Amino acid sequence: MTEVYAAIELAEGETPHGAVHRFTQAAVDRKMLFKELEVLDIITIGPRKFVRFRTDQSKVGSVAEDIRKKRAVVLPNGVGYKVYLPGGRSAPVPTSKMHTSPLPNYKRLYRGPKNKLWEAQFQDI
């Protein structure tokens, strides 16, 4: 299984749990299911905070397409990563920032929509 790293900007007052729910729902809406998503930590790029994660969904850019309209996302781009901002601007992100070891006390593994009862982990939202 190939894992893809990505990050989604946290909206004002949003938790990483909420951002993962938004990404998972976007995957379901586009019928681009995955088995798992592992939250690694929170990263800062400029003034923005992102929840950094890895997943087995190889088309993470397609899943995040609708999310990109309202908030910034960091996606794989050829041999590196780019942050894509609402409005169409983008900038490179160092690969080392995306592949840094996760914080040991922060990791959380989510079941993806390919698994039964995946919705149960989001009942509190």
Q: What confidence tier does 105 reach under pLDDT thresholds 50, 70, 90? A: confident
Does residue 1 carry a pLDDT above 70? no
Q: What is the pLDDT of residue 66?
A: 87
Q: What is the pLDDT of residue 52?
A: 96
Per the CB < 8 A criterion, the answer to whether 43 and 99 are in contact is no
**Tens-digit pLDDT profile for residues 24-56:** 999 999 999 999 999 999 999 999 999 999 999
Does residue 82 carry a pLDDT above 80? yes
Cα separation, 83 vs 59, whole angstroms: 16
Cα separation, 65 vs 122, whole angstroms: 22
pLDDT (mean) for 100-122? 89
Q: What is the pLDDT of residue 94?
A: 95
Q: For the whole prediction, is pTM greater than 0.75? A: yes
Per the CB < 8 A criterion, the answer to whether 55 and 3 are in contact is yes
Phi (first) and psi of residue 43, to 5 degrees: -120, 160
pLDDT (mean) for 4-8? 96
